[in-house]
Chain A
Amino acid sequence: DAKTTQPPSMDCAEGRAANLPCNHSTISGNEYVYWYRQIHSQGPQYIIHGLKNNETNEMASLIITEDRKSSTLILPHATLRDTAVYYCIVRVGYGGSQGNLIFGKGTKLSVKP
């Protein structure tokens, strides 16, 4: 079973920041938080990941709470092309059979003009 909880859907106005929450209250010390998104009819696409520090790349920012029990993915200026299902995943930080990716239901983000 997925170890994360996300709202099933969210709306965001074009040009505004989209803040997507994720709860992972049972996360353990060696688990990373990963975010992916899936645009309709395409394979999932990696966005960002982190362990405990906040992370930023050209696509998004990831804010992880100090207790690591939740995180927020921020798309700073959402566009219509950001409409997708966003998945938050926790994954252990070592190899072997524990390194698999388990997807939950995700959040369907709709960016509206």
Chain B
Amino acid sequence: DVKVTQSSRYLVKRTGEKVFLECVQDMDHENMFWYRQDPGLGLRLIYFSYDVKMKEKGDIPEGYSVSREKKERFSLILESASTNQTSMYLCASSQLPGQKGSEAFFGQGTRLTVV
């Protein structure tokens, strides 16, 4: 079974801290994604990577950065956490779209609280 593993299920951080959210996938997928999900707003794409060291901004990249040094790992970085970044963060990976097996697989999410 495909596995997308997020490093933490729950996280509490202080305002101003640098926060790292890690995501690892075991299916050799090219594409990896970071979303945040908030009530009433649905899933919003933060960043997207379609290859190692490649990244693209999504809809809401402000306050975030990402790192993809290895194909299986995609890290989301909150440079200076703020309370409005309290959210559920979801990582996903997929093969190239349109191909057999191109569906995206999601991790279980990290619920981050910034106090």
| A45→B106 contact, CB < 8 A | yes
Interfacial chain A residues near B44, Cβ < 8 Å: 103
| A99→B108 contact, CB < 8 A | no
The size class of the interface chain A forms with chain B is: 20 to 34
Q: How many A-B residue pairs have CB under 8 A?
A: 72
Interfacial chain B residues near A101, Cβ < 8 Å: 33, 45, 92, 94, 104
| B43→A44 contact, CB < 8 A | yes
> What 0/1 readout, one digit per residue, does chain B (3-37) give for beta carbons within 8 Å of chain A?
01000000000000000000000000011010100
The answer to the question of B115 belonging to the interface, with a C-beta cut-off of 8 Å to chain A, is: no
| B42→A103 contact, CB < 8 A | yes
> What 0/1 readout, one digit per residue, does chain B (83-115) give for beta carbons within 8 Å of chain A?
000000010101011100011111111000000
Q: Given A34-B103, A46-B105, A92-B97, is A97 in contact with B56 using a C-beta cutoff of 8 Å?
A: yes
| B50→A96 contact, CB < 8 A | yes
Interfacial chain A residues near B58, Cβ < 8 Å: 100
The size class of the interface chain B forms with chain A is: 20 to 34
| A99→B97 contact, CB < 8 A | yes
| A94→B92 contact, CB < 8 A | no
| A104→B42 contact, CB < 8 A | yes
Interfacial chain A residues near B74, Cβ < 8 Å: none
Interfacial chain B residues near A100, Cβ < 8 Å: 31, 33, 45, 48, 56, 58
Residue of B nearest to A42 (CB): B108
| A106→B96 contact, CB < 8 A | no
Interfacial chain B residues near A94, Cβ < 8 Å: 96-98
Q: Given A43-B90, A100-B33, is A106 in contact with B42 using a C-beta cutoff of 8 Å?
A: yes
The answer to the question of A51 belonging to the interface, with a C-beta cut-off of 8 Å to chain B, is: yes
Excluding A30-B98, A32-B102, 19 further A-B contacts by CB distance (< 8 Å) are A34-B103, A36-B104, A43-B107, A44-B92, A44-B104, A46-B103, A46-B104, A51-B98, A87-B43, A94-B97, A95-B96, A97-B56, A99-B96, A102-B59, A103-B35, A103-B42, A103-B43, A103-B44, A103-B45
